[in-house]
Structure 1
Amino acid sequence: MDLFSRSWAALRTAVAELPDEDFARPSGCTGWLVRDLVCHLIIDAQDVLITLVTPADTEPTRDALSYWHVAATPPAGDDPLDALTVRLAAAYEQPWLLRFHLDDVGSAAGRAAGLADPAARVSTRDEVLTAGDYLTAYVLEWTLHHLDLVAHLPAADGPPAEGLARSRRMLEKIAGAAFPASFSDADALLVGTGRRAPTAAEDAELAELAGKLPLVLG
């Protein structure tokens, strides 16, 4: 629960500190500018709020790892929902409006997470999880999107080290194998989820794991 809060606070702070011109730069998400990614974060924050107030009275059907659906190919950026996000982001017109909305809804999502009972059961995407597992899954979400945010912004702060380490362990469990020790946590996440291709040397180190990649999470 604490790691969710720290990861989410760090991501929101990184957005808040971006100069206006950075919102028009590319993000690490194919087809999305930084402003589109920030709009997606607003939608994510709304999803967190909705899920935490959607109780379930049945046994959990997913945990923090099985919450994720794994595809074999990265999105091409032409999915209708992705396109809708781009149109919504453009409707904000000014970066300060995106910052304001993310701070408003994002702060509420953070407070709701802090008040949640980790053992409580919640429902989302027609599945049931404990609130603790749901928020743990979102540590990976926030960390990956923090990497997306700063992909082309070398002056921006990246995700917290503890979030990177936890997210790497989660991705390794999803993959069923560990990344080479020579990979930094950030590189393991970027290569593992298809956000960048491995170098020839990295590909050789990955060995059999290379055949399982990328792990595209959705």
Structure 2
Amino acid sequence: MDLFSQSWTALRTAVADLPDEDFERPSGCTGWLVRDLVCHLVIDAQDVLITLVTPADTEPTVDAVTYWHLVEPPTGEDPLDALIPRLAAAYGDPGLLRFHLDDVGSAAGRAAELADPTARVSTRDEVLTVGDYLSVYVLEWTLHHLDLIARLPSAAEPPAETLAATRASLERIAGTSFPASFSDKDALLIGTGRRTPTDREKAALGDFAARLPLVLG
């Protein structure tokens, strides 16, 4: 629960601190501007609110690791992915988008703090505990924080604790550890295809390099 709050607070603070002109810059998500990514975060926050009030009375079917599946890289043909830039552009003023994220995001954060981590909820036709569900979003939001600041060198990075936790989650999903020489940030960027490894990094990865990128769905 603490890592969820840390990752979400840090990400929303990073968005709040962005000057308007940065919303038009490319993000680390291929084909999306920063404003598109922020619009996606609004939808993420809505999903958190919806899921936390969707109780389940059956046994969990997944946990924070098995919730994720390794999928093929996106082709850009997903209807929701195509919708996001149109929604983001409709806001016009970055201040409106910033306000909407703060409004809905604050509510999602409060709902998470009030939730029982042992309770079970349903989402994507799966059942998992609230604690596991919020752990899923530690990974989601830490990666998107890196996407947000990909071309904004002066922006604040994710907290060290959430970077480490997200690396550990990605390693459990992959069933393999990244080389100890990799920083948590580099392990995440290289592991998810957000950065191409150098020749030295490829050598350190060994056979694991052939399995990258790890695309989560």
TM-score (normalised: structure 1): 0.98
Residue type of the alignment partner of 1:157: A
Instruction: Identify the residue that residue 126 of structure 2 maps to in structure 1.
Output: 127
The alpha-carbon distance between structure 1 residues 76 and 188, as it changes in their structure 2 partners (threshold 3 A), is same
* Partner Cα separation in structure 2 for residue 155 and residue 79 of structure 1: 32
Report the 3-state secondary structure (helix = DSSP H, G, I; strand = E; otherwise coil) of the residue aligned with 1:216: coil
Q: 1:212 Cα deviation (Å)?
A: 1.8
1:1-218 alignment to 2 at 5 Å? Answer: 1-73=1-73, 75-218=74-217
Residue type of the alignment partner of 2:13: T
* Partner Cα separation in structure 2 for residue 86 and residue 120 of structure 1: 35
**Among the aligned pairs, what percent are the same residue?**
77
Residue type of the alignment partner of 1:24: E
Q: 1:201 Cα deviation (Å)?
A: 1.0
Of 193-202 and 34-43, deviating more is: 193-202
Report the 3-state secondary structure (helix = DSSP H, G, I; strand = E; otherwise coil) of the residue aligned with 1:70: coil
Deviations 1:173-210 (A, max 9, x none): 11111101111101100111111111111111100111
* Partner Cα separation in structure 2 for residue 100 and residue 69 of structure 1: 33
Q: 1:13 Cα deviation (Å)?
A: 0.2
Report the 3-state secondary structure (helix = DSSP H, G, I; strand = E; otherwise coil) of the residue aligned with 2:117: coil
Residue type of the alignment partner of 2:27: S
Residue type of the alignment partner of 1:189: L
Report the 3-state secondary structure (helix = DSSP H, G, I; strand = E; otherwise coil) of the residue aligned with 2:49: helix
Structure 2 residues without counterparts, runs of 5 or longer: none
* Partner Cα separation in structure 2 for residue 76 and residue 33 of structure 1: 17
Residue type of the alignment partner of 2:150: A
Count of residues in Structure 1 that have an aligned counterpart in Structure 2: 217
* Partner Cα separation in structure 2 for residue 116 and residue 191 of structure 1: 34
Q: 1:145 Cα deviation (Å)?
A: 0.2
Structure 1 residues without counterparts, runs of 5 or longer: none
* Partner Cα separation in structure 1 for residue 144 and residue 180 of structure 2: 23
* Partner Cα separation in structure 2 for residue 22 and residue 76 of structure 1: 26
TM-score (normalised: structure 2): 0.98
The answer to whether the 8 A contact 1:72-1:213 is kept is no
* Partner Cα separation in structure 2 for residue 208 and residue 169 of structure 1: 19
The answer to whether the 8 A contact 1:118-1:131 is kept is yes
* Partner Cα separation in structure 2 for residue 83 and residue 158 of structure 1: 27
Residue type of the alignment partner of 1:36: D
Residue type of the alignment partner of 2:21: E
Residue type of the alignment partner of 1:147: L
Q: 1:68 Cα deviation (Å)?
A: 1.1
